[in-house]
Amino acid sequence: MTFADGTTGVVYRETVMCGESPPDPAVLVVSFRLRGVHGWGHPLFRAESLLNTALFAGFSGFVSKLWLTADEEDRYRGFYQWDGARSAEEYVRVLWWPLALVSHRSSIRYCILPGRLRDDVLERAESGEDTAQPDTAWWRLVRTETKPR
């Protein structure tokens, strides 16, 4: 996944709640840079992050999450689908505190896109419909690419 600021992340896990398409969709993009995690620390964090699933999967309105590897600036991103922008906002307010313990506080950012379905955002970026000149929008997805396994 390539973002408007030129950074990229690779999806390393997907978490999905069973159910229908959300009636009040919202996409949430979260970004943070962990303190002291470099080199070999990244694979350890990705393995440990599986334990964090319980932190968000139980939140009302959670639909899905794409877990992205650290980008070129060591920032991790979560690309979520929520049912309701308000639910996404409530989740972010709770998430901030545990992230603040392990991340550079100034690196914790989020963006909520009300009325958007995650898969539509992914498809538009993949088709080139959402491409725009790169800017400082760390959250705006401009391209997706599927690599053969």
Both tokens assigned to 113: 């896109």
pLDDT > 70: what percent of the chain?
77
pLDDT value for 40 = 53
Burial of residue 47, with CB atoms counted within 10 A of its CB: 0-12 exposed, 13-18 middle, 19 or more buried: exposed
Q: How confident is the model at residue 45 (pLDDT cuts 50, 70, 90)?
A: low
Kindly list the structural domains of the chain, giving each domain's residue range(s) and its CATH number in brackets, ordered by start: 2-122 (3.30.70.100)
With residues binned 3-state (H G I as helix, E B as strand, rest as coil), the percentages for the chain, rounded to 5, are 30, 30, 40
Q: Averaged over 29-34, what is the pLDDT?
A: 90
Q: From CA 139, how far away is CA 56, in angstroms rounded?
A: 20
Question: Whole-model pTM above 0.85?
Answer: no
Q: Averaged over 3-23, what is the pLDDT?
A: 87
